């Protein structure tokens, strides 16, 4: 198994690839200017990364997966993720790819620090990368260029605020482009929704809830070979509900059917649907329906 190198700081990363460090907490990297060639490495990074692929540069390694991503593709990574490169099977000595690295300490106490978790694409898998049109690529490149200009400007009281705002603008554009990508992959998304519904039905039909408990978003994301964040964002975009809300709605519909059948107690229904405690089931039921399971039975 490959050894994993822990890279905690921006400067450590820059030294590894022979890049100039413009700021200890943030840097724009241009791999065409690197003075060191790293053919193969796996890293556990301690900061956020966003890379725009500009040419063939071998395989990007993300976790345990290899992905030779196309030109004009954006890949984002969050602190704690394992990534790396493998150029052993390519003849291209250097890449024109660019990117931005920023440490969590840079955005601490800022509006971006409060909203960074909303940019769920930092936890997407590599096969869920963002594929840009030429116009979108130009916008992303321009945002990165503005950040670099600010890094090269002498530091003053406005520097941090302007850098963070430009990073936030870049991430907002990526969010927009991801939403566009969800739309352009409409048919594939609908297939995933159908599969999700089938898996939900099978989960209860095969009585997995008795042994596994309540179904989780991760369970269905794994079945669809997607990351939980990407799966959740896709469901939200297509249905208007979060994946968790979608699961809960299905549970409530099943509960209604079983309550009206009248063959089981509320506790039996709760356990068969995966609840550890009947009172948790009753609380969720009342939240969705407006009355307790027993009241629902009496009213119907």
CATH assignment of the domain containing 145: 2.60.120.280
Same domain as 17, residue 158:
yes
Region at 126 (left for phi over 0; alpha for psi -120 to 50; beta for the rest): alpha
pLDDT tens per residue, range 199-230 = 999 999 998 999 899 999 999 999 988 889 99
Top-ranked range on mean pLDDT: pick from 43-57, 68-82, 113-127: 113-127
pTM above 0.85, yes or no: no
Say if residue 9's pLDDT is above 90. Answer: yes
d(CA 18, CA 14): 6
Please count the structural domains in the chain. 2
Same domain as 191, residue 177:
no
Task: List the one residue out of 125, 7, 149, 152 whose CA is nearest residue 66.
Answer: 125
Please spell the DSSP secondary structure of 258-277, one letter per residue.
HHHH-SS-HHHHHHHTT-SS
Mean pLDDT computed over 246-265: 91
Same domain as 110, residue 69:
yes
Domain's final residue, options 184, 208, 226:
184
d(CA 277, CA 254): 17
Same domain as 146, residue 99:
yes
Here the tokens at position 171 are: 């991430």
Same domain as 162, residue 77:
yes
Same domain as 126, residue 23:
yes
d(CA 72, CA 46): 25
d(CA 166, CA 163): 5
Same domain as 143, residue 284:
no
Domain's final residue, options 184, 217, 244:
184
What values do phi and psi take at 124, rounded to 5?
Answer: -75, 155
d(CA 39, CA 102): 24
pLDDT at res. 69 = 45
CATH assignment of the domain containing 196: 1.10.10.60
Residue count of the chain, please give it.
300
Label residue 76 exposed, middle or buried (CB < 10 Å: 0-12, 13-18, 19+). buried
Same domain as 252, residue 141:
no
pLDDT at res. 88 = 59
Same domain as 191, residue 46:
no
Domain's final residue, options 184, 202, 228:
184
Domain containing residue 239? 187-299
In what order do the strands lie in the sheet containing 73-77?
26-30, 98-102, 48-52, 73-77, 130-131
Same domain as 212, residue 81:
no
Same domain as 209, residue 176:
no
């Amino acid at each position: 198994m490959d050894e994993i190198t822990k890279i905690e700081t921006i400067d450590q990363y820059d030294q590894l690839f022979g890049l100039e460090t413009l700021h200890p907490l943030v840097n724009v990297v241009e791999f065409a200017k690197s003075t060191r060639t790293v053919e193969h490495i796996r890293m556990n990074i301690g900061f956020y990364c966003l890379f725009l692929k500009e040419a063939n540069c071998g395989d990007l390694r993300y976790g345990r997966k290899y992905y030779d991503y196309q030109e004009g593709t954006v890949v984002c990574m969050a602190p704690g993720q394992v990534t790396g490169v493998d150029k052993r099977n390519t003849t291209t000595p250097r890449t024109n790819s660019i990117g931005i690295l920023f440490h969590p300490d840079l955005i601490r106490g800022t509006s971006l620090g409060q909203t960074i978790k909303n940019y769920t694409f930092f936890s997407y898998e590599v096969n869920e990368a963002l594929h840009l049109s030429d116009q979108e690529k130009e916008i992303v490149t321009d945002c990165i260029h503005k950040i670099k200009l600010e890094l090269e400007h002498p530091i003053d009281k406005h520097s941090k605020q302007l850098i963070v705002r430009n990073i936030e603008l870049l991430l907002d554009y990526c969010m927009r482009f991801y939403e566009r990508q969800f739309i352009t992959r409409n048919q594939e998304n609908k297939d995933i929704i159908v599969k999700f519904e089938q898996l939900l039905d099978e989960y209860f039909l095969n009585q997995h809830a008795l042994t596994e408990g309540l179904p989780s978003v991760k369970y269905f994301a794994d079945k669809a070979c997607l990351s939980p964040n990407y799966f959740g964002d896709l469901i939200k975009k297509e249905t208007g509900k979060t994946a968790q809300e979608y699961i809960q709605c299905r549970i409530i519909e099943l509960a209604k059917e079983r309550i009206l059948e009248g063959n089981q107690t509320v506790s039996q229904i709760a356990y068969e649907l995966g609840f550890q405690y009947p009172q948790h089931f009753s609380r969720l039921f009342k939240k969705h329906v407006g009355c307790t399971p027993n009241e629902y039975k009496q009213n119907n």
